[in-house]
């Protein structure tokens, strides 16, 4: 998969940005606050995912503009495709999104059509922040290689919200505890499937990340990644084809529902699970150095890209936002080794900080406008 044409206007500070990227490497340089990250962010939202910077829809539109528009042409699924994305300040909820000139009702088809992996300095939050960050990461990875998984995750979120609302009603004396059985049974089926999905993906991620981290440390440190389910533990098999696993999930929800009523939320299930990341047997979040955390976050993202490529047999587009300058030569070499068959967009303030980049195109961003630097 690779982008053949980009046309963006009115997205934050971007002004009439249109260019034909190189099929391999695209270096985008410029001073801070010129729009380099905005460009990668505009490309990223074409995946149908939320902004990797946490921007809201209304923040996409430049302050002095009424609308923003973005278009990419890309080769994917063995054919040339086009995505158009238009957002108006007058009706922020009415996203005008189309693929190949066919209007979409939502963003799910974007997620199924255009695939990116983005690396940012904020990736260290995968290590430092709480379980929700890691669950969301694993869920997104799973959905990239099996888009149908997105339906299970969204269904679970709806069931969880409904069960939590029922818990509050019961606690307030306005509901019947027996009514929880409806949610318990449905959540048990969907939750077991999600746990199984996460466990299988995490096992694959653990294997590739152990290898990558071993290369970074020359074998001196061992990285391990495990899926920690509060229903099934770390080592128990999760079988979605028999009733045993679903029954165990259901029994746990039933046993904890008195506590859940008292607390007002669901304390057990897929919504409470975590991903354990350890170096030499110790939690990297609690005991790791800043350098170890950055390296672990890097290999998590490299593992995501590698698994997608091997599973789909089509490379995702790689967005490297201001991360290469923080990596020494050996870590940069590892990145380029993984992405060597993928289209890459690299932003940096200092072009000399990116080593081993001998081919591709070099663009300069200045005050929201992009120009190509000819060699």
pLDDT tens digit string along 167-189?
Answer: 999 998 888 888 899 999 999 99
Report in angstroms the alpha-carbon separations of 94 from 42, 77, 105, 147: 18, 28, 10, 24
What is the three-class DSSP state of 21? coil
Give pLDDT, residue 310. Answer: 86
Q: Which helix (H) or strand (E) holds 277?
A: strand 274-279
Name the segment(s) of the chain with CATH classification 1.20.1050.90.
127-286
- CA dist., res. 84 & res. 153, Å (int): 26
pTM: 0.85
**How is domain 127-286 classified at the CATH fold level?**
Glutathione S-transferase Yfyf (Class Pi); Chain A, domain 2 (1.20.1050)
pLDDT tens digit string along 271-296?
Answer: 999 999 999 999 999 998 888 898 89
Give pLDDT, residue 375. Answer: 66
Q: Which helix (H) or strand (E) holds 313?
A: none
Query: Which tokens hold the place of 146?
Result: 């099996």
How much is the average pLDDT of 133-144? 91
- CA dist., res. 187 & res. 229, Å (int): 15
Architecture of domain 2-115+314-373: 3-Layer(aba) Sandwich (3.40)
Name the segment(s) of the chain with CATH classification 3.40.50.300.
2-115+314-373
Report in angstroms the alpha-carbon separations of 120 from 18, 55, 367, 369: 23, 15, 21, 22
pLDDT tops 70 at residue 356? no
Give pLDDT, residue 253. Answer: 94
pLDDT tops 80 at residue 234? no
Give pLDDT, residue 262. Answer: 93
Q: How many residues does the chain have?
A: 375
Cβ–Cβ contacts within 10 Å for residue 218, how many?
A: 8
Closest to 215 (Cα-Cα) out of 116, 156, 134, 298:
298
């Amino acid at each position: 998969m690779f982008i053949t044409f980009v046309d963006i206007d009115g997205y934050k500070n971007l002004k009439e940005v249109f260019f034909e990227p190189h099929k391999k490497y695209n270096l985008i340089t410029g001073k801070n606050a010129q729009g380099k990250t905005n460009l990668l962010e505009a490309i990223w939202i074409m995946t149908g995912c939320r902004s990797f910077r946490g921007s809201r829809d209304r923040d996409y539109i430049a302050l002095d503009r009424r609308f923003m528009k973005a278009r990419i042409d890309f080769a994917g699924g063995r054919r040339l495709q086009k995505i158009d994305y238009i957002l108006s300040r007058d009706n922020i909820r009415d996203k005008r999104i189309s693929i190949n000139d066919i209007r979409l009702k939502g963003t799910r088809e974007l997620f199924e059509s255009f695939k990116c992996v983005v690396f940012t300095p904020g990736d260290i939050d995968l290590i430092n922040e709480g379980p929700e960050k890691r669950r969301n990461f694993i869920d997104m990875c799973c959905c990239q290689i099996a888009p149908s998984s997105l339906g299970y995750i969204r269904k679970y979120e709806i069931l969880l919200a409904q069960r939590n609302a029922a818990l509050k009603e019961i606690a307030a004396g306005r509901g019947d505890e027996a009514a929880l059985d409806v949610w318990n049974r449905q959540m048990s089926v969907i939750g077991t499937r999600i746990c199984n999905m996460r466990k299988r993906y995490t096992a694959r991620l653990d294997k590739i990340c152990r290898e990558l981290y071993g290369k970074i440390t020359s074998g001196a440190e061992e990285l391990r990644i495990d899926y920690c389910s509060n229903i099934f533990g770390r080592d128990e098999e999760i079988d979605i084809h028999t009733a045993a696993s679903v029954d165990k999930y259901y029994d746990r929800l039933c046993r904890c529902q008195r506590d859940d009523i008292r607390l007002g939320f669901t304390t057990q299930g897929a919504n409470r699970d975590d991903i354990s990341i350890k170096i030499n047997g110790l939690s990297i979040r609690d005991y790791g150095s800043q350098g170890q955390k950055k390296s672990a976050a890097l290999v998590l993202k490299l593992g995501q890209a590698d698994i997608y490529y091997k599973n789909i047999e089509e490379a995702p587009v790689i967005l490297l936002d201001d991360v290469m300058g923080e990596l020494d030569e050996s870590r940069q070499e590892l990145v380029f080794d993984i992405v060597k068959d993928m289209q890459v967009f690299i932003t940096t303030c200092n072009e000399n900080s990116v080593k081993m980049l001998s081919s591709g195109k070099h663009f300069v961003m200045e005050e929201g406008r992009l120009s190509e630097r000819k060699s």
